[in-house]
Amino acid sequence: MAVRAAVAGASGYAGGEVLRLLLGHPEVEIGAVTGHSSAGQRLGSLQPHLAPLAGRVVEATSAEALAGHDVVFLALPHGRSAAVAEQLGPDVLVVDCGADFRLRDAADWTAFYGSAHAGTWPYGLPELPGGRTALHGARRIAVPGCYPTAVSLALFPAYAAGIAEPEAVIVAASGTSGAGKALKPHLLGSEVMGSMSPYGVGGGHRHTPEMIQNLSAVAGERVGVSFTPTLAPMARGILATCSAKARPGVDAEAVRTAYEKALAEEPFVQLLPAGQWPSTAAVHGSNAAQIQVALDPAAHRIIAISAIDNLTKGTAGGAVQSMNIALGLPERTGLSAVGVAP
Amino acid sequence: MAVRAAVAGASGYAGGEVLRLLLGHPEVEIGAVTGHSSAGQRLGSLQPHLAPLAGRVVEATSAEALAGHDVVFLALPHGRSAAVAEQLGPDVLVVDCGADFRLRDAADWTAFYGSAHAGTWPYGLPELPGGRTALHGARRIAVPGCYPTAVSLALFPAYAAGIAEPEAVIVAASGTSGAGKALKPHLLGSEVMGSMSPYGVGGGHRHTPEMIQNLSAVAGERVGVSFTPTLAPMARGILATCSAKARPGVDAEAVRTAYEKALAEEPFVQLLPAGQWPSTAAVHGSNAAQIQVALDPAAHRIIAISAIDNLTKGTAGGAVQSMNIALGLPERTGLSAVGVAP
Amino acid sequence: MAVRAAVAGASGYAGGEVLRLLLGHPEVEIGAVTGHSSAGQRLGSLQPHLAPLAGRVVEATSAEALAGHDVVFLALPHGRSAAVAEQLGPDVLVVDCGADFRLRDAADWTAFYGSAHAGTWPYGLPELPGGRTALHGARRIAVPGCYPTAVSLALFPAYAAGIAEPEAVIVAASGTSGAGKALKPHLLGSEVMGSMSPYGVGGGHRHTPEMIQNLSAVAGERVGVSFTPTLAPMARGILATCSAKARPGVDAEAVRTAYEKALAEEPFVQLLPAGQWPSTAAVHGSNAAQIQVALDPAAHRIIAISAIDNLTKGTAGGAVQSMNIALGLPERTGLSAVGVAP
Amino acid sequence: MAVRAAVAGASGYAGGEVLRLLLGHPEVEIGAVTGHSSAGQRLGSLQPHLAPLAGRVVEATSAEALAGHDVVFLALPHGRSAAVAEQLGPDVLVVDCGADFRLRDAADWTAFYGSAHAGTWPYGLPELPGGRTALHGARRIAVPGCYPTAVSLALFPAYAAGIAEPEAVIVAASGTSGAGKALKPHLLGSEVMGSMSPYGVGGGHRHTPEMIQNLSAVAGERVGVSFTPTLAPMARGILATCSAKARPGVDAEAVRTAYEKALAEEPFVQLLPAGQWPSTAAVHGSNAAQIQVALDPAAHRIIAISAIDNLTKGTAGGAVQSMNIALGLPERTGLSAVGVAP
């Protein structure tokens, strides 16, 4: 019997990617697709790549439209998920692709988002220590941010093994789809093609406290994070270059061993062979994360680099992976670790 | 019992795309992967997106390596397929992604390829009139060229309905993967990014006789083709803008009707609703073709435009689709009509 | 004594490019920079590449702001230029980068733009036969559209020599800056990167009558045009692939001779040596046009291809070139024929 | 009387950019253009954007070909400059765009380049403290590497003011032209478009010791550098994200003051107003560097970001700027601080 899934926020990039993955998921039947300003429009005009759904008309997001589904994916602007989730019964699996329920610390939430904290849901990054356990049977899931996914996968092995000092410096490049479909001048094709530029510099990006939360939990102590995001001339992908001082005495072999141990069993995380480096192209459209790590002997820093597709592993793929775990389905169902390259 | 498939030419873009699709094909088990200059290398270093095959070592292409498979895909340079195919038994399905067996006219072959004609195999474009019949039970298949696929899908409905004059003008833009992985200066990223340029201007492109062959067969008379290919700053995709004078008296409704009739039942060809235009992004990584058509009332020309992914529907997807038909599998098996967008 | 120039519409791409060129023009001093919704903002925040003007504040476009200049460049939305120009004295050189005064036929104007015809000004394409004469001493100049510039330069030699039939088929690819800075979903970087798509198919693009006007004037008979524009994943550049049946008896040598004769003396139009093809990269940021032509012997069509930078030769460079002629300055002053490549 | 300049290595990206700038330099006349494997070819086929030089034939690089010039620019592979320079008289200004004479420490040279140290020439980064003085009247100039230019401009103000701890972490994204025109698979357009990837991770990039040399000289103590370069899907541009712990007690105002003081008089370095961030598009094709800086209060790190065009300010523009100083010409001659954007 198929799992019946609804997607709220179906006209955006996150919602579109959830639908793309669900179309290939053998256990899921797509029910309601809802939106706000897009309500009443044909999905085919909004998401022309989703051919099998082209004739669907977007409904207005409402409790009625979302009722009667086993799973509801929320791909809404920040601050909108709580009101929708409240109206859905406790047996419905609600998977929130937004930020509202990611942070445990209410003060962090208010400092970075400026509103009252809605609460904390089980966190949808199964690869973290204890991550899968937290998701078994869950009926509410907070999907991680795209940058925190990339950064946590790159650095948690180092902190789990205790080989890194608790101060990380992260510079990440993201494709423009990470900024959503909002009509902003700096996101125009004419502006982004051929250009790299930073934003949210100086610790202000809202994903920063989420990274700190994840890495600190693994390290067992507070890990400080300096995070600088940059916008790259590509539609998809995140390349996160993460580094931290190695603890005294840590050598290259210890680093390699820590990563092999942490990642050996992961179905979607690929620790690359020595000498090969991640690229966002290799994971395009897939739920895979490519990881490589090196020890800079002169600076005695661990450099860990991850490549993910921000819309897939960084959002919708992570959401479906967590849904699979919550529902007791095989974790890989409907998800591919093969990128669309070149 | 799984179909066992080998891929010769596994290190190139066409071979890599065949492997990508076969990894998602539920009835296929991937056997030998072979290459020429890449023999002995890990596939993971050559095709880093094909994670499940990363540990495979490329074998040298030989009769021995390719023996014992139900299907052998050839993704070889022009002129190399015949020698390999000869060594494979008549019961083995050989699917040639190269040009060697596409043309029926030996003189055309020699004029455009400069060598002796190897022969003609059943042509792997099921959407053409009679196309599927020719493939049922076939054990040799010539996969169409990427441009002829795009152009034939855009124009055959007009010629099948007899509404177009037999002179077509075609300008197509292709992503750089259509030119393969050869190390040529004009294919460097620094050269192609931010740049459009034509090539093979003046009727010299080798895909021209194949277009003429396809359209003439549908029209029942010789259709002349003026074809200009251009290189676009993207890795994948073909946008083919095709036009021909409308026959006297043909109006917009007749044009629309012709296309609806020809394409209504096609699983992978999407005739878009009026007002919506194809884009290569919408079919990225998928086996879909998007088609739209208009009648220019002032010039009395039919303008038919198609968008495909040159590596998928234009090469490897068409190959797998044809394989499915030849083997009696459902035609859509292992193939998606959903693009990876944005 | 410097020519004092104002630019109305300074926040858009056309206005920004006019300013970029004027900053390098040795005879021009930049006076007022005005805008509509951008009035009151620092130019540095709107056009961060125009460093020497970063501190300028955009004034509201008005007769007062534009008074007291020798030259006023108008880079305004269609339909806005007449009202501004009326308020400028007859001795002021007004260079309109918009469409309002390009067409001679009022019915064409109304059919394509839906409003009353404002009039016709001397046309700023000096390369056309008689083009320079029309600009000497002019005090009103209509700058050609970007596509008509590319197409007219590619085809006028054929029509001037009488070697082409009067029906042209044109497919052009444009960078996204040709669509301006308007915030439209299909112009987002996420949508355009990696994608080619057509628009205005079927004869509806507003530049069509302008092409017909130019080519017909050269040919001495009405030249029909089938024009299909496409949007390419690059910020700048137009590649126009133009073709027409060759007149009976015309051979490759006649074609080459016609182009050599028409273009030999042009400072900004480069007829490439045989075997070399235009690219938009080679003219990036320059006022150059690269042209190549071939005769397709099988289709007996002349294929003429041009590459320009839509913002430079296609808009602001053409405007400055025409200004130079009107003011009696050397035509090349402040303009480069050297592209910024790669 | 014009300065007569020769360019050795005219077929590559650096040589081509030197020629592009010299074509716009009012005091320079271009003499010999030489190459190695390109000798005998028309420059127009190698550098099609350099229209005025299209008819020039590349000569073989030799003492004879380079004799009789006032300035000789060397754009050669590493290790080739010394032999050529030796044959040029002491009165000839030799400007080496390669690495051979950049490093002062012979051991560093050998460790990173694997050969014997050729020597040290005056260093062509006038913005560094004392930088201009070292270039006055010089007849040998070592042009800095592109990354060291970007990084040194971003960080030297912090080290000059003594506000940063001597350990810098740098992640930079470069356009593909930084890797040159060499035919390597990972530089193909199909590979780089839509993809970000790192290289030279772990401290191995050859520009690392040059950064350490520059920053240490300014700081008056050894500054350690952790440097990770990444390849971005664009032809030109470097965005360098540089950070270091702020010294205790340093606040945002002190940071801003340090940068304003260091950069106020620089003709090509633009410290952006608060809230505006550099982009590589804004400096495309120009000799400008855009800089912005922030203090992350939580991490207490100074984040300094620079954007340059790797071929212009990062190579050829820096070379011409240094030539101007050495020859006593106004520093800005022939150089623009205006980018070609969008």
- Indicate whether C337 belongs to any domain: no
The two three-digit tokens of residue D322, written as one number: 């240094």
- Indicate whether A124 belongs to any domain: yes
Query: Is the model's pLDDT at C153 over the cut of 80?
Result: yes
- In three-state secondary structure terms, C325 is helix
Query: Is the model's pLDDT at C1 over the cut of 80?
Result: no
| Average of per-residue pLDDT across D131-146 | 98
Per-residue pLDDT reduced to its tens digit, A293-307: 999 999 999 999 999
Task: Kindly state whether D149 is in contact with chain B, defined as any CB-CB distance less than 8 angstroms.
Answer: no
CATH number, residue D160 = 3.30.360.10
Provide the pLDDT confidence category of residue A325 given band limits of 50, 70 and 90: very high
Listed residue (A47, A19, A304) closest to A152, CA to CA: A304
| Average of per-residue pLDDT across C80-92 | 95
- Please tell me whether residues B296 and B151 are part of one structural domain: yes
- Please tell me whether residues D221 and D287 are part of one structural domain: yes
| Average of per-residue pLDDT across D117-129 | 97
Per-residue pLDDT reduced to its tens digit, D212-260: 999 999 999 999 999 999 999 999 999 999 999 999 999 999 999 999 9
- Indicate whether B59 belongs to any domain: yes
- Please tell me whether residues A154 and A123 are part of one structural domain: no
Question: Would the CB atoms of B340 and A24 count as touching at under 8 Å?
Answer: no
**How does the average pLDDT of chain D come out, rounded?**
97
Question: Would the CB atoms of A340 and B49 count as touching at under 8 Å?
Answer: yes
Chain A CB contacts of B339 below 8 Å? 48-49, 51
Query: Is the model's pLDDT at C96 over the cut of 90?
Result: yes
- Indicate whether A334 belongs to any domain: no
- Please tell me whether residues A40 and A138 are part of one structural domain: yes
- Please tell me whether residues C45 and C124 are part of one structural domain: yes
Provide the pLDDT confidence category of residue D158 given band limits of 50, 70 and 90: very high
Long-range CB pairs of B81-88 (<8 Å, 24+ gap) are B81/B118, B82/B118, B82/B119, B84/B8, B85/B140, B87/B63, B88/B63
- Indicate whether A97 belongs to any domain: yes
ipTM score: 0.97
- Please tell me whether residues A73 and A165 are part of one structural domain: no
What pLDDT does D336 receive? 98
- Please tell me whether residues A180 and A321 are part of one structural domain: no
- Please tell me whether residues A160 and A302 are part of one structural domain: yes
CB contacts < 8 Å between A and C, how many? 66
What pLDDT does D1 receive? 65
Query: Is the model's pLDDT at A97 over the cut of 80?
Result: yes
Please give the model's pTM, rounded to 2 decimal places: 0.98
Task: Kindly state whether C206 is in contact with chain D, defined as any CB-CB distance less than 8 angstroms.
Answer: no
Q: Residues 54..93 of D with a Cβ closer than 8 Å to C: which?
A: 54
CATH number, residue A18 = 3.40.50.720
Q: Which of A146, A151, A158, A271 is catalytic?
A: A146
What pLDDT does A1 receive? 65
- Indicate whether D338 belongs to any domain: no
- Nearest C-alpha of chain D: how many angstroms from A136? 35
CB contacts < 8 Å between C and D, how many? 97
Question: Would the CB atoms of C191 and B281 count as touching at under 8 Å?
Answer: yes
- Indicate whether C334 belongs to any domain: no
Per-residue pLDDT reduced to its tens digit, A23-62: 999 999 999 999 999 999 999 999 999 999 999 999 999 9
- Please tell me whether residues B163 and B227 are part of one structural domain: yes
**How does the average pLDDT of chain A come out, rounded?**
97
**How does the average pLDDT of chain C come out, rounded?**
97
Return the higher-pLDDT residue of B238 and D78: B238
Query: Is residue C255 within 8 Å of D36, Cβ to Cβ?
Result: no
Residue A267 CB neighbours (<10 A)? 16
Say if strands B3-8 and B28-35 run parallel, antiparallel, or are unpaired: parallel
Q: Which of D181, D183, D233 is closest, CB to CB, to B193?
A: D233
Q: Which of A179, A185, A193 is closest, CB to CB, to C235?
A: A193
- Indicate whether C333 belongs to any domain: no
What pLDDT does B145 receive? 98
Task: Kindly state whether B330 is in contact with chain C, defined as any CB-CB distance less than 8 angstroms.
Answer: no
Task: Kindly state whether D133 is in contact with chain C, defined as any CB-CB distance less than 8 angstroms.
Answer: no
Per-residue pLDDT reduced to its tens digit, C187-237: 999 999 999 999 999 999 999 999 999 999 999 999 999 999 999 999 999
Chain D CB contacts of A253 below 8 Å? none
Task: Kindly state whether A52 is in contact with chain B, defined as any CB-CB distance less than 8 angstroms.
Answer: yes
Provide the pLDDT confidence category of residue A328 given band limits of 50, 70 and 90: very high
Per-residue pLDDT reduced to its tens digit, C298-326: 999 999 999 999 999 999 999 999 999 99
CB contacts < 8 Å between A and B, how many? 98
- In the complex, which subunits touch B with 3 or more CB pairs below 8 angstroms? A, C, D
Per-residue pLDDT reduced to its tens digit, B36-93: 999 999 999 999 999 999 999 999 999 999 999 999 999 999 999 999 999 999 999 9
What pLDDT does A76 receive? 96
Question: Would the CB atoms of A342 and B273 count as touching at under 8 Å?
Answer: no
Q: Where are the beta strands (DSSP E) in chain D?
A: 3-8, 28-35, 59-60, 71-74, 93-96, 140-142, 164-174, 197-198, 224-231, 238-246, 269-271, 289-296, 301-308
Please name the residue of chain B whose CA is at the shortest distance from the CA of residue D48.
B191
Task: Kindly state whether C181 is in contact with chain A, defined as any CB-CB distance less than 8 angstroms.
Answer: yes
Please name the residue of chain B whose CA is at the shortest distance from the CA of residue A51.
B338
Residue ranges making up the domain that contains B124: 3-143+315-327
Q: Where are the beta strands (DSSP E) in C65-144?
A: 71-74, 93-96, 140-142
Task: Kindly state whether D235 is in contact with chain B, defined as any CB-CB distance less than 8 angstroms.
Answer: yes
- Please tell me whether residues A157 and A300 are part of one structural domain: yes
Chain B CB contacts of A23 below 8 Å? 336, 338
Q: Which of A191, A203, A234 is closest, CB to CB, to D196?
A: A234
Task: Kindly state whether A181 is in contact with chain C, defined as any CB-CB distance less than 8 angstroms.
Answer: yes
Chain D CB contacts of B232 below 8 Å? none
Candidates D46, D188, D234: best to mutate against B (most CBs of B within 10 A) is D188
Candidates A177, A195, A222: best to mutate against D (most CBs of D within 10 A) is A195
Ranges in chain B, pLDDT < 50: none
Candidates A174, A190, A230, A236: best to mutate against C (most CBs of C within 10 A) is A190
Per-residue pLDDT reduced to its tens digit, D23-47: 999 999 999 999 999 999 999 999 9
Question: Would the CB atoms of B183 and D188 count as touching at under 8 Å?
Answer: yes
- Please tell me whether residues D126 and D193 are part of one structural domain: no
- Nearest C-alpha of chain A: how many angstroms from D257? 17
d(CA C259, CA C294): 10
- Nearest C-alpha of chain D: how many angstroms from A170? 9
Per-residue pLDDT reduced to its tens digit, B2-30: 999 999 999 999 999 999 999 999 999 99
The count of domains in chain D is: 2
- Please tell me whether residues C188 and C250 are part of one structural domain: yes
The two three-digit tokens of residue B231, written as one number: 């290189």
Task: Kindly state whether D276 is in contact with chain C, defined as any CB-CB distance less than 8 angstroms.
Answer: yes
